[in-house]
Structure 1
Amino acid sequence: MKAAYIKQLGDASSIQVGELPDPEIQQTDVLVQVEGVAVDHVDTYVRSGAYKTDIAFPHVIGRDMVGQVIAVGSAVTAFKPGDSVWTNAMGYDGRQGVTSTLAAVPADRLAPVPAGVDHLQLIASVHSSATAVIILNDVMQAEFGQSVLIEGAAGHVGAKLVQLAKRMGLNVVTTSNERDFTKLAKFGSQGTFNYHENFAEKVTALLPAGVDHIIDTSGNVDFQTNINLLARNGETTLITAPKSNLFTFNVRDFYMNQKHVNGFVISHASLDQLQQAAKTINAAFSQGLLLDDAILIKHFDDAKWAHAALETGQDKQNRIVLVP
């Protein structure tokens, strides 16, 4: 099979594209003919060694894949040849990645592609959509009627958070560039604020009792600003960090008002969390939601370029999808 792989940890130049032996499936595995693979920042962390995880070399890169089942193990009953499936849980914790023409995937890490949904649009979405679902449902345990401020809401994860929070009945407010206000209002934001301005005053005016949940997708908001905006018992969740890797804040105000801070990376999500998230986002996909990403389609041969592009921020608007 053709695959993009590494023989050792390193920078993007360590990626090779060539022939590897076809994978063999075990009783609980499914053999999939790969149609497309999304490229995520987490892929670069695994490849470089920044994210510590078990790897057997040569290691096929890539985590999120959509394709068609061509064979199933003897114990598999949920899928059959010809089914369209996707996964977002390969390429780490000892599992081979999926940037290959064939992939052997454990059946419990696969989900069906809903009828009528564009396969490449779907796989471009699943990483950010699953991240958003798990943050809202499991990390924050957000409840109907609560308020949530999503910072950097026009980004890939931010846009998914807005749509899902609206579906959950949350009172959603957002920060973004002004050019994205109309889109975010359509997604469900009830208050759109320009992150280049002093949005904190405007958020406070709209929600004087404070915000129940804040999600910073950018790492560019002063931590103290978010602490000040939180209601008592409120919480903020970080999915990235500032370039300085440092925050300063008023500790006394933080603990006396029982405020909380969470950190989240999807690579630490449990199998159950991933499976439940797959059901939620598949339901949304079936209704035409969460499929708003602009996609740049490249080939497996461009894997080295794709990793370098992510690491240098060459193209922040598009989600990169590699096809065989």
Structure 2
Amino acid sequence: MQAAVFVPGGPATEIEVKSIAEPEITANEVLLQVRAAAVDNVDTYVRRGIFKTELATPAVIGRDAVGTVLAVGPAVTKFKVGDWVWTNSMGYEGRPGATSEQLAVPEDRLYAVPDGVDPVALVAAVHAAATAQIVLQTVMQAHPQQTILIAGAAGHVGTKLVQLAALRGLDVWTTSAPKDFAMLQQLGSQHCLDYHQALPDLGMPPMQHVIATSARVPLNQQCAVLAPGGMVTLITAPTDASFDVPAFYMQRQVMQGFVISHATVTELAQAATQLNQAFAQGKLLDDQVVVKSFAAAAWAHTAMEAGTLGRNKVVLVPNQLK
């Protein structure tokens, strides 16, 4: 079978589509016929060795895949041949990467595709959507009526945070370019503010939750608009990471970091249940998707590292399906 194979620590240009052995499933695994695999920024971190993790051999890019069940192990009870399913935790911790024609997936890392949902739109959404869901539910433990500031809300993770925070009943504040205000209001932002201004100058009330999707938002500004006892959640490293430590601890404020690569199987499954409910209602499926063949894998990683994709989300499909 064909797969997009990379050299650990190597450049994007060394990603090649190669013929590798078809997987053999164990008792608790499902054999997936991959129909599409998403390209995520974290995939470049895994390939380059920035995110340290055990890799399968050969090393294949990608963690998010959608497809149909080809076979199931004897201990599998949730799925049958022909089912449409998705996964978002392959390609790290020793598991095979998603960008291959077939994929052996542990049953507990696999979820059903809701009826009527476009599988390509779904796989394009799952990385950002699952990140947002776990942040809100597990990290923040956010409750209705709480205030949340999503700084840099117009990108992939930001738009998912807006929608899911609104669904949870939070009072959603966002910063973005003014041209994105209408879109964010439609998604659920109740207060749209211009990101060109410093956060403390925007006149917002103290926030119970603050999260920035961009490294360009200084940490001291995030802390400056935080309510006593509030939480800053970090999903990226601010370029300017200095902040007023005495003021922070004297107000019993909290700072937590999160990367989805360390989410537990239970956290991923709980998030998948919530996301599937939203997907079935047509929510969270608003990404600008660019579909390419596996052969474009090197281009996709190169473009992502160069920052030239904009808001486009690249999804790769087996060469014969493109």
TM-score (ref. length: structure 2)? 0.97
Following TM superposition, by how much is the alpha carbon of 1:200 offset from its aligned partner in structure 2, in angstroms? Answer: 3.0
Following TM superposition, by how much is the alpha carbon of 1:197 offset from its aligned partner in structure 2, in angstroms? Answer: 2.4
CA distance in 2, matches of 1:197, 1:59: 44
CA distance in 1, matches of 2:59, 2:295: 16
Following TM superposition, by how much is the alpha carbon of 1:199 offset from its aligned partner in structure 2, in angstroms? Answer: 4.5
Following TM superposition, by how much is the alpha carbon of 1:281 offset from its aligned partner in structure 2, in angstroms? Answer: 0.4
CA distance in 2, matches of 1:203, 1:262: 25
Q: Which residue of 1 aligns with 2:111?
A: 111
Are the aligned partners of 1:8 and 1:57 in contact in 2 as well (CA < 8 Å)? no
Following TM superposition, by how much is the alpha carbon of 1:6 offset from its aligned partner in structure 2, in angstroms? Answer: 2.1
- Consecutive unaligned residues of structure 2, counting only runs of 5 or more, are none
Following TM superposition, by how much is the alpha carbon of 1:7 offset from its aligned partner in structure 2, in angstroms? Answer: 4.2
CA distance in 1, matches of 2:26, 2:202: 57
Within a 5 Å distance, the mapping from 1:150-161 to structure 2 comes to 150-161=150-161
Are the aligned partners of 1:7 and 1:57 in contact in 2 as well (CA < 8 Å)? no
2:212 alignment partner AA: D
Following TM superposition, by how much is the alpha carbon of 1:122 offset from its aligned partner in structure 2, in angstroms? Answer: 0.3
Q: Which residue of 2 aligns with 1:284?
A: 278
Are the aligned partners of 1:6 and 1:57 in contact in 2 as well (CA < 8 Å)? no
Over the matched positions of the two proteins, sequence identity in percent amounts to: 52
Q: Which residue of 2 aligns with 1:228?
A: 224
Within a 5 Å distance, the mapping from 1:107-256 to structure 2 comes to 107-204=107-204, 207=205, 210-242=206-238, 244=239, 246-256=240-250
Following TM superposition, by how much is the alpha carbon of 1:138 offset from its aligned partner in structure 2, in angstroms? Answer: 0.5
CA distance in 2, matches of 1:78, 1:187: 33
Following TM superposition, by how much is the alpha carbon of 1:318 offset from its aligned partner in structure 2, in angstroms? Answer: 0.4
SS at match of 1:59: coil
Following TM superposition, by how much is the alpha carbon of 1:220 offset from its aligned partner in structure 2, in angstroms? Answer: 1.2
Following TM superposition, by how much is the alpha carbon of 1:221 offset from its aligned partner in structure 2, in angstroms? Answer: 1.3
SS at match of 1:291: coil
CA distance in 2, matches of 1:163, 1:318: 19
SS at match of 2:201: helix
Q: Deviations over 1:103-156 (max 9, x none)?
A: 111111000000001110000000000000000011111111110000111100
Are the aligned partners of 1:15 and 1:303 in contact in 2 as well (CA < 8 Å)? yes
Q: Which residue of 2 aligns with 1:320?
A: 314
SS at match of 1:182: helix
Two-structure CA RMSD over aligned residues (Å): 1.1
SS at match of 2:32: strand
SS at match of 2:96: coil
2:270 alignment partner AA: Q
Are the aligned partners of 1:233 and 1:259 in contact in 2 as well (CA < 8 Å)? yes
1:58 aligns with 2:54: no
1:32 aligns with 2:32: yes
CA distance in 2, matches of 1:199, 1:238: 16
Q: Deviations over 1:146-179 (max 9, x none)?
A: 1000011110000000010011110001000111
Are the aligned partners of 1:8 and 1:14 in contact in 2 as well (CA < 8 Å)? no
CA distance in 1, matches of 2:43, 2:62: 6
Following TM superposition, by how much is the alpha carbon of 1:61 offset from its aligned partner in structure 2, in angstroms? Answer: 1.3
Are the aligned partners of 2:132 and 2:161 in contact in 1 as well (CA < 8 Å)? yes
2:262 alignment partner AA: H
Are the aligned partners of 2:220 and 2:244 in contact in 1 as well (CA < 8 Å)? yes
Are the aligned partners of 1:219 and 1:238 in contact in 2 as well (CA < 8 Å)? no
Q: How many residues align?
A: 318
